[in-house]
Structure 1
Amino acid sequence: VNRLDDDTIVYYIRAALKIRFILLIDLYQEINVDKLNSNYQLLIVQLLSSLVSIK
């Protein structure tokens, strides 16, 4: 069984997220960010900013 390397996994995740970008934005807008702890806020911000940089 061949294990996918990290780069390949990241590639597929980013591709899937790019497809779901609009839904993710909708979800983000619905989240009450104040109720999330700072780690989750940071994670979401990093995720959204990484989507913006997808070529």
Structure 2
Amino acid sequence: MPATVIVNARWINEARQTAGGLRLENGRIATWVNDRMGWNGEQLAGMPKGPRLESDR
């Protein structure tokens, strides 16, 4: 797997965490995050790192 894919996945994951943390303050948008991520909000907020490439597709 190209290194760029891993780097991009990590960057995307960090961006998602930041955006997710903001969205979690609004329950309706948190539901949107849950649907997009397939994780619940607590797991999303609790994962600082850990790219999940299958979720990025």
Name the TM-score, length of structure 2 as normaliser.
0.42
Larger radius of gyration: 1
